[in-house]
A = this chain, B = another copy of it.
């Protein structure tokens, strides 16, 4: 399974779309049979809605559960909607308890009831445990499959125990060492276990400085710790340091990817679950809200301009130039906003250094304001043969770019404190401010000094 980008072969998505066009179901079945569930999920993501359901019919029953687990939420909803509840139960039942827990919120009630009915008591309890934590916490990320041993035994005993156990949980890089109360006291890397004298005791070779997480730690912090300390697995503990489960790096990779995607999409009022092939009506509805919010800000800008109708009627050049002031403020502010949101997310901007950041951004805003104001003033002066007009647009631009810098830093800090996602609300609020100040300063100064 070499990932060698062989340009000679068509990629599986093109192959699938071609086969769908030809209606050759045999070819599709053949193509799907060789693929990993994650690859099938990827194909489904890239297939338009109607053809997606045809393809889904051809996915073999035993791996349907795993495919459902891998697709994005928007696509998952479509697939589940197209299946009868019996088929959904069959698909989900093949999965581990932790995986079932991930799917459960997306399933119809009668399916959930039927799945709970088919589980034995132990599995139902495990499911309850996993479901008791919110999805975006360490508890929600963890799985319950792990190996723990006591610190008093010898490595030889550990090796014998592992061999008797047979298969170790996926992604196991270390086993967790606990005391008699199931409290975490250390970890033993498999590499250490394999490289040490088997006569030694666990206590002598284990690592006592384990990065662990409380069950309610936000997934963002879990991801940051995995990144920073290069972790592959880490234990989740309760307040008394008793071990509850473990988090594996593959789930953390998904969190990092999802947060990155969210950050990009939120700036356009979109969500991670927006499927590129969702129905037109659904997509129109999802996007309409954001456009509506933006229409309000556009009306606010128009309302400001409306106050200067007399000024504008006396000098139309103002109408020609006014978008420049607003747009430069918007762009400069977006730069500051983007860096500030990122600094807050990475934890490099805190209350203690925020004043320095504000000061620095104000200076950058001022400097870039001066540089570009000079250029604009020059062009405006020659275009309309009016020096005063040039001076006024320059002053308005500098004012707006300083305001933009201030808003770019303060808005995300404030929104963060209020618990509002600055990536989503920040852009709209910033544009409103830079539009209003841009039009107000330019037309206002013109009204006083020019007309």
* A256-293 with Cβ < 8 A to chain B: 256-257, 259-261, 263-265, 267-270, 274, 276-277, 280, 283-284, 287-288, 290-292
CB distance from A356 to the nearest CB of B (A): 5
Q: Select A228's contact among B36, B351, B360, beta carbons within 8 Å.
A: B36
* A209 sits at the interface (CB 8 A): yes
Q: Are A368 and B287 in contact (CB under 8 A)?
A: yes
**Which listed residue (B5, B287, B321) contacts A302, Cβ 8 A?**
B321
Of A265, A319, A350, the most chain B CB neighbours within 10 A belong to A319
Q: A217 with B5: in contact, given A263-B264, A295-B376, A347-B46 (CB under 8 Å)? A: yes
Chain B residues contacting A342 (CB-CB under 8 Å) are 261, 264-265, 276
B48 touches A356 (CB 8 A): yes
Interface centre among A18, A214, A356 (most CB of B within 10 A): A356
Number of chain A residues close to chain B: CB under 8 A: 142
* Minimal beta-carbon separation of A287 from chain B (angstroms): 5
A151 on the interface (CB 8 Å rule)? no
Query: Does A167 have its Cβ within 8 Å of any Cβ on chain B?
Result: yes
Q: How far is the CA of A39 from the CA of B346 in the complex (A)?
A: 12
In Å, the complex CA distance between A171 and B171 comes to: 11
A172 to B159, CA, bound (A): 18
Please determine whether A346 and B45 come into contact, CB atoms closer than 8 angstroms.
yes
The listed residue with most B CB atoms (<10 A of its CB), out of A159, A218, A301, A312, is: A312
Quick one: which of B169, B227, B328 contacts A257, CB cutoff 8 A? Answer: B227
Complex-state Cα separation, A14 to B353, whole angstroms = 8
Q: How many copies does the complex hold?
A: 2
A350 CA to B290 CA, complexed, in Å: 27
The winner among A163, A274, A353 for most chain B CB atoms within 10 A is A353
The docked-state distance in angstroms from the alpha carbon of A290 to that of B5 is: 34
B213 touches A2 (CB 8 A): yes
Which of A171, A270, A276: most chain B Cβ within 10 A? Answer: A276
Of B162, B198, B284, B290, the residue contacting A195 (CB under 8 A) is: B162
- A132 beta carbon closer than 8 Å to chain B: no
Q: Once the chains bind, are A290 and B213 in contact (CB under 8 Å)?
A: no
Ordered by A's residue number, 26 sampled pairs between the chains whose C-beta atoms are within 8 Å are A3-B212, A3-B217, A14-B350, A36-B228, A38-B228, A42-B347, A46-B349, A163-B195, A163-B198, A171-B232, A172-B191, A227-B254, A227-B257, A253-B253, A269-B335, A270-B338, A280-B364, A288-B371, A288-B372, A298-B327, A299-B324, A302-B323, A309-B316, A309-B320, A312-B316, A319-B319
Across the A-B interface, the 10 shortest Cβ-Cβ residue pairs: A260-B260, A319-B319, A230-B250, A168-B191, A46-B348, A17-B352, A38-B228, A268-B338, A4-B214, A298-B324
